[in-house]
Amino acid sequence: MIFFLFRGIFRDKSRFLFPFSVVSIGVALVVALVGFMEGVFMGMIDMTAKLNAGHLRLVNKPFYDEEHLYPLDRALAAQKETKRWLKKNSTPDIEWTPRIRWGALIDVPDANGDTRSQTPVVGMALDLKSPNSSEIRRLQLAESLVKGQLPQDSNEMLMGNALAKDLDVALGQSVTVIGQSFDGGLVADNYLVVGLIRFGVTAMDKKMVLIDLADAQSTFYMDDMVTDWLGYLPSSLSFDHYVKAKKNINSNLNTWRENPPKDWAKDDQPIALSILDQQNMGSMVRTFTVIKSSVVGIFTFLMILVLWNAGVLSGIHRYGEMGLRLAFGESHWKLILTLGIEGLLIGILGSIVGCVLGGTFAWYLQEVGLNMGDTFAKSGLMINDVVRARLTLGGFIQGIVPGIFASVAGTLVASSTIFKRSEANLFRELEAG
C-alpha cells in the first residue's frame, strides 16, 4: 500500500511538491531558529557559569547578600578543610574550584611615579599557575590571549584588552592595586601586566582583571580564605541535576554548621546555590522555554494553515479520483486514512530535507558564529560578542515532530472539509470532468 502511495505521490507532482516544500521550509526554519536560540541562551548560561556563578556555588550568605560591594571580611575561612568537605559530601561528577572576587582601584603611574590614570575594576583570583590548571582550560585563557602570556611568577596580572586600551597600559607595565584587606585595612600592591586578554564579553573586557589565587590571598591578607567555591558539572546534564545536587549539599551543610571549623566567624553561614538561583537565571530559563515553545507553536500553526488550504485545493482537483473510489465501494474513512498516510509520508520526507537544510545553517552558525559587536555591551548579560548556534538532538526533534504533525493534521482537516460534500456532488464533479 505504501509503495503505491509513493508511486502516486511522485507521479502527481502537484500533490507532492507544494506541501513538501512547505514542510521542508517550515522545519528548516524551526531547526535553524531553535538552534540559534539554544546557542545564544546556553552560551549565556555557560559564560555565566564559567566566569561568575558556576553550575553550583558554595558561598557565605553574608558575602552573597552584599557581593556587589565585594566584602572580603565575609569570605569563608578554612579553604583546605572546605575542599575536603565538598569532595566528601557531593557527587564525584562535580569539579570544585576556589575563587576570590574582589573590587579595587587600578592606579597607572607615569614616568615619574605619579598617577597617570585610575579606574575601578572587577577582579577575579583563581588558580593560574598550577600545572594543568582546570581554570585555564575552563576559561580558555591561553586561546583568549591577545598579547603576552599567562602569569608564571608572583604578582603578575591578566588585564582585559579593552581596559588596557582605555588606561593606555602596555604589556609589561606595572600597575598598583588599591583596595581593602580582609580586616578592613587599606592595601596597595604592585602587579605586572603580563597578558592582555579578550573575554568575549564587552563589559568584562572593559572592567576585569585576573590574578592568581595565592597572590590575592597575600595582597588582601586572606590566608586559607576564599569568597567562593564554584562547582562544575558535565554540560550534558539537565538543570534538574543542578537543583538536586544543591539540595543534597544544603542538607549536609546543616550538619556541618553544628560543628564548624574553628576559623569560621560566629555569623558565617555557608549556603549552596545553583546557577538558577543567581542573576535571575531561573526566570530567564522559564521565559526562554515559553518563547521557544511559542515559536515552535506558531510555525506549526502556520504550516497546518497552509497545508490545509493546499489540501483543499488538491482535493478539489481529485474529486474525480475520489468519486471513482467511492463508486468502487471504498468508504469515506478509508479515503481519509489514505490521505492521512500521504500526509505522513510527505511530512517525513519534508522533515528530513528540512532538518538537513536547517541543520546545515545552524551548524555554520555554530562553527563560525555571528559577530554582534557591542550589541550586548550594556545589557548586563554575560553574552559573548560572537554568538553561536547550538545543534542538539532536541532541536531536530522540535523541528521534525511539528513538521510531521502539521502535514498530517493539515491533510486530515482538508479531507474532512472535502468529504462534507455529498457523494452525489462528487459524482457530479466526476461526470463534469
For residues 107 and 411, which has the higher predicted lDDT (pLDDT)?
Answer: 107
Question: What's the pLDDT tens digit per position in 25-72?
Answer: 888 888 888 888 888 777 777 878 888 888 889 988 888 888 888 888
Q: What mean pLDDT is reported for the chain?
A: 79
Closest CA to 96 of 136, 57, 137: 57
- SS3 letters for 201-264? CHHHHCCEEEEEHHHHHHHCCCCCCECEEEEECCCCCCHHHHHHHHHHHHHHHHHHHHCCCCCC
Residue 286, C-alpha cell as written in the block: 522559564
Question: What's the pLDDT tens digit per position in 394-432?
Answer: 888 888 888 888 777 777 776 666 555 555 455 554 455
Within 8 A by CB and 6+ apart from 388, the residues are 39, 43, 365, 366, 367, 369, 370
Closest CA to 21 of 318, 310, 294: 310
Share of the chain above pLDDT 90, in %: 12
Query: pTM for this one?
Result: 0.72
CB 306 within 8 A of CB 312: no
pLDDT of residue 305: 77
Q: For cell 555565566, what's the residue? A: 48
Q: For cell 538552534, what's the residue? A: 35
| Statement: residue 153 has pLDDT above 80 | yes
pLDDT of residue 418: 59
Mean pLDDT over 313-318 rounds to 55
For residues 92 and 307, which has the higher predicted lDDT (pLDDT)?
Answer: 92
Question: What's the pLDDT tens digit per position in 263-299?
Answer: 787 778 888 888 888 767 777 778 888 888 888 888 8
